[in-house]
Amino acid sequence: MVEMMPTHEPFTITSLRLGELYLPHGGGLMRDPMHCWLVRGKGINILVDSGMADIATVQARMNVGGFGGGHAALRTALASEGLGPDDIQYVVLTHLHFDHAENLDLFPNACVVVQRDELFAAVDPVPSQRIYYWRSITQGVLERKRPNALRLVDGDVEFFPGFQLLKVPSHTEGMQVAVVTTKAGRAALVSDLGDHYRYWFPADRRATAHPQRSLAGAFLTGSIRSSSERDWQAAMQRVVDNSDIVVPAHDFRIPMRMPEQWFAIPESTDGDLAQVPPPARDNAGA
């Protein structure tokens, strides 16, 4: 509905891993990989989420460890796909938390797409989420005054044929999920509406090393949330009803290339919960 686009041109999706955060979990530290996604259709390059700040900044502000992030990690990830920031026409933000909406200054000529309610939530966060909404990010969004530099959307929208946005208040008040049509089917880039597979399949041994039988037929909801557990469950169900696979933001096992890799549930629980210290790496931020 927005621009001229060939109808039903299937998209491809590449997951970009921009670094990791080490988060307290059950007395230890859990490694959480940070992903955003490159969605390519005929002549259109869309970035879904723009990643986190460089780890030094995150460390100073949030007191958590990790590696990667910032302009460097995002530039490197895009370059590995033969692209630079100027090749991105749209940056679609699932929500405005610090680990998903940084680095917008790399894209002065792109159109940033976010739910209007999410921007309001970032301007005036619920108290428990103040720490996740960085003023620098909110400011960066508000300063996008050039024509077509910012598009605020309200509710569900078929942004391009085969690229749909679902508004799913849950983790945040204006959370949105991109449902992308590929040759293999529809992939929902669910970000933090269930940021690991275990949230989507909490009773399934393929998805988690710690299945919970009491959650069979239901979902696991996160502790950082702006709506009731019941509303969150309904939001996840609506995504499942409108897609073929879900792709979480912080799971090591997500497909890196779609539709070439295509699965609803991972084949192994390796990486479900990864502990620090991480194994040796060749190059940081890869």
Tell me which residues touch Zn ion (CB under 5 A): 99, 192
N-terminal to C-terminal alpha carbon distance within the chain: 36
Output 53 or 160, the one with its CB closest to Zn ion. 53
Q: H or E stretch including 41?
A: strand 28-41
Sheet holding 185-191, edge to edge: 157-160, 163-167, 176-182, 185-191, 245-248
Output 185 or 222, the one with its CB closest to Zn ion. 222
CA 277 distance to own-chain centroid: 24
Output 51 or 259, the one with its CB closest to Zn ion. 51
Output 58 or 160, the one with its CB closest to Zn ion. 58
Query: Which stretches within the chain are classed as H helix?
Result: 55-62, 70-79, 116-123, 135-142, 197-200, 229-241
Closest approach of Zn ion to the CB of residue 280, in Å:
25
Counting runs of H as helices and runs of E as strands, what totals does the chain give? 6, 14
3-state secondary structure of 98: coil
Closest approach of Zn ion to the CB of residue 251, in Å:
11
Output 102 or 192, the one with its CB closest to Zn ion. 192
Output 21 or 180, the one with its CB closest to Zn ion. 21
Q: How many of the other CB atoms lie within 10 Å of CB of 237?
A: 12
> In angstroms, rounded to a whole number, what is the distance separating the alpha carbons of residues 203 and 61?
36
Look up tokens 């090591």; give the residue.
252
Closest approach of Zn ion to the CB of residue 246, in Å:
15
Output 224 or 234, the one with its CB closest to Zn ion. 224
> In angstroms, rounded to a whole number, what is the distance separating the alpha carbons of residues 72 and 181?
30
Closest approach of Zn ion to the CB of residue 192, in Å:
4
Closest approach of Zn ion to the CB of residue 191, in Å:
7
DSSP structure class, residue 11: P
DSSP structure class, residue 183: T
Closest approach of Zn ion to the CB of residue 132, in Å:
8
Output 117 or 192, the one with its CB closest to Zn ion. 192
Closest approach of Zn ion to the CB of residue 58, in Å:
12
Closest approach of Zn ion to the CB of residue 34, in Å:
7
Here the tokens at position 107 are 């894209």
> 235 burial class (0-12, 13-18, 19+ CB within 10 angstroms)?
buried
Q: What are phi and psi of 11, to 5 degrees?
A: -95, 160
